[in-house]
Amino acid sequence: MEKVRYGIIGVGNMGRSHALSLLGEVKGAELTAVCDISPERLEWAAEHLPEQIRRYKSASELFESQSVDAVLISTPHYDHPPLAIEALRHGLHVLIEKPAGVHTQAVQEMNDAAAKSDRKFGIMYNQRTNPLYQKLRELIQSGELGEIRRTNWIITNWYRSQNYYDSGGWRATWAGEGGGVLLNQDPHQLDLWQWTTGMMPKRIRAFCHFGKYRKIEVEDDVTAYVEYANGATGLFVTTTGEAPGTNRFEINGDNGKIVIEDGKLIFWRLRTPEPVFNAEFTGGFGAPECWKCEIPVAEGGGEQHVGILRNFTNAILHNEPLLAPGEEGIHGLTLSNAMYLSAWTDNWVELPIDSGRFHEMLMDKVRQSTFRKEAAVQTALDVTGTH
Ligand SMILES: NC(=O)c1ccc[n+]([C@@H]2O[C@H](COP(=O)([O-])OP(=O)(O)OC[C@H]3O[C@@H](n4cnc5c(N)ncnc54)[C@H](O)[C@@H]3O)[C@@H](O)[C@H]2O)c1
pLDDT digits (tens, 9 = 90+) for 3-38: 999 999 999 999 999 999 999 999 999 999 999 999
126 lines ligand 1 (CB under 6 A): yes
Residue 271 has pLDDT above 60, yes or no: yes
Query: Please, what is the average pLDDT of the chain?
Result: 96
Q: Is 14 near ligand 1, meaning CB less than 6 Å away?
A: yes
Q: Report helix, strand or coil for 259.
A: strand
The secondary structure element, H or E, covering residue 223 is: strand 219-227
**3 state DSSP class of 235:** strand
Residue 77: CB within 6 Å of ligand 1?
Answer: yes
Burial (CB count within 10 angstroms: exposed 0-12, middle 13-18, buried 19+), residue 114:
buried
Q: Does the beta carbon of 75 lie inside 6 Å of ligand 1?
A: yes
What confidence category does residue 367 fall into, taking pLDDT thresholds of 50, 70 and 90? very high
Decide: 307 in ligand 1 pocket, CB within 6 A.
Answer: no
Q: Which residues pair with 292 in a beta bridge?
A: 268
371: pLDDT confidence band, cut at 50, 70 and 90?
confident
pLDDT of residue 387: 63
Q: How far is the CA of 153 from the centre of ligand 1 (A)?
A: 27
Instruction: From 246, 338, 257, 241, select the one nearest 292 (Cα to Cα).
Output: 257
pTM (2 d.p.): 0.96
Q: How far is the CA of 201 from the centre of ligand 1 (A)?
A: 30
Name the closest-CA residue to atom 15, ligand 1.
13
pLDDT band (50, 70, 90) for residue 386: low
Q: How many Å lie between the centroid of ligand 1 and the Cα of residue 252?
A: 36
Which atom belonging to ligand 1 lies closest to the Cα atom of 11?
39
Predicted local confidence at residue 353, as pLDDT: 98
Signed CA dihedral, 3, 312, 9, 81: sign only: positive
Lowest mean pLDDT among 10-24, 108-122, 304-318, 361-375: 361-375
Q: Is the beta carbon of 220 within 6 A of some atom in ligand 1?
A: no
Q: Which ligand 1 atom lies nearest to the CA of residue 79?
A: 31
Q: What is the sign of the dihedral through the CA atoms of 177, 180, 182 and 187? A: positive
* Distance from residue 54's CA to the centre of ligand 1 (Å): 19
367 Cα to the center of ligand 1, angstroms: 23
Centre of ligand 1 from the C-alpha of residue 168, in Å: 10
Confidence category of residue 160, pLDDT binned at 50, 70, 90:
very high
